């Protein structure tokens, strides 16, 4: 759009070089920064009509200093980086990108589950050490391997990702139970509704998909861990704050929980003294559930479509 300008404050995570910003550049003048420090935001955004942010925080103190600003696009589903009330008071529209990574996150849930069930990483490393070559038999394993068939997976919250995980679990012939606000009659026949205590006690695998709120913060703690089977596996691709990390590390190290597969931690990047980094049977990926090429391309496309819709006077995915 002529004489209108967009500023992308932190585009590197979404596009480290394998995507392009063409869909934004076609809409208006577009200035793109890989990263923006807090003290650089106002200077870089002073003449922006539209701001695009991923993790760069836009508090009220910044929003109030940007008189031209009309629109904030968040390159994510979560939009807690923006002071929504401050934006609303100034009539600034804030839009997010919902449900772009459902398949990718669900895929990572099962990447963790299958890695643990088949001990993929461990046995691959043992082969590289020469143990298979030195083995007298055609096959070797010295870790417990398990079949998913017949196991019970407990899913905490049935949004888009939780439902996708349930569908995949059904394909593995798993029993699916879920803690959800949906009524039993509103669930597919292969999902059984359960309260949290029943879910924790009954599940062989627990997968967290609830938002982080005051009610769910440290949902996984010493008390809830004590309800779980010692053979259970915990998967978290939601938010790191859902877990009391000290309590989880202790449960793993004391064999009170078999394993954990985590894609998120309470502080990211993690502090070096995070107890989960050295905990027994704890498999951690660096927040990559959303980061497949296909999911990031979808994110780019939807974010650009959001901006186009706003420019054309029909804003979509508005959260303000």
Residues labelled as active-site residues = 239, 268, 287
Q: Which distant-in-sequence residues (6+ apart) come within 8 Å of 277 by Cβ? A: 270, 284
Give the residue from 50, 118, 106, 150 showing the smallest Cα distance to 238. Answer: 106
For the record, the structure tokens of 251 come out as 């449960």
Rounded CA gap, 154 and 207, in Å? 6
- How many Cβ atoms are within 10 Å of 172's Cβ, its own excluded? 17
SS3 call for 84: helix
CA atoms 222, 226, 230, 234: torsion sign: negative
Rounded CA gap, 86 and 64, in Å? 8
Q: Which residues pair with 243 in a beta bridge?
A: 220
Rounded CA gap, 45 and 43, in Å? 6
């Amino acid at each position: 759009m002529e004489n209108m300008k967009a500023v992308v404050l932190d585009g590197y995570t979404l596009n480290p070089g394998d995507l392009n910003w063409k869909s934004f550049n076609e809409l208006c003048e577009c200035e793109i920064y890989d990263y923006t420090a807090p003290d650089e935001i106002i200077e870089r955004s002073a003449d922006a009509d539209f701001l695009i942010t991923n993790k760069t925080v836009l508090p009220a103190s910044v929003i109030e200093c940007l008189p031209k600003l009309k629109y904030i696009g968040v390159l994510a589903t979560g939009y807690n980086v923006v002071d929504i009330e401050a934006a609303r008071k100034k009539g600034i529209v804030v839009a997010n990108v919902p449900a772009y990574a459902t398949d990718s996150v669900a895929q990572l849930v099962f990447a963790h589950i299958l890695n643990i069930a088949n001990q993929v990483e461990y046995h691959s490393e043992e082969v590289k050490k020469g143990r298979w070559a030195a083995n007298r038999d055609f096959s070797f394993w010295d870790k417990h391997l398990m079949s998913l068939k017949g196991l019970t997976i407990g899913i905490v919250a049935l949004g888009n990702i939780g439902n996708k995980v349930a569908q995949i679990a059904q394909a593995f012939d798993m029993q699916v139970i879920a803690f959800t606000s949906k009524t039993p009659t509103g669930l597919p026949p292969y999902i059984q509704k359960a309260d949290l205590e029943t879910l924790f006690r009954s599940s062989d695998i627990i997968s967290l998909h609830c938002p982080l709120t005051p009610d769910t913060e440290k949902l996984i703690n010493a008390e809830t861990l004590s309800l779980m089977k010692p053979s259970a596996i915990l998967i978290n691709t939601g938010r790191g704050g859902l877990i009391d990390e000290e309590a989880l590390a202790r449960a793993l190290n004391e064999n009170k929980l078999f394993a954990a597969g985590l894609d998120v931690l309470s502080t990211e990047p993690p502090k070096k003294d995070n107890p989960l980094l050295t905990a027994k049977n704890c498999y951690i990926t660096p927040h990559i559930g959303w980061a497949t090429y296909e999911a990031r391309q979808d994110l780019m496309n939807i974010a650009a479509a959001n901006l186009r819709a706003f420019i054309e006077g029909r804003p979509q995915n508005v959260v303000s």
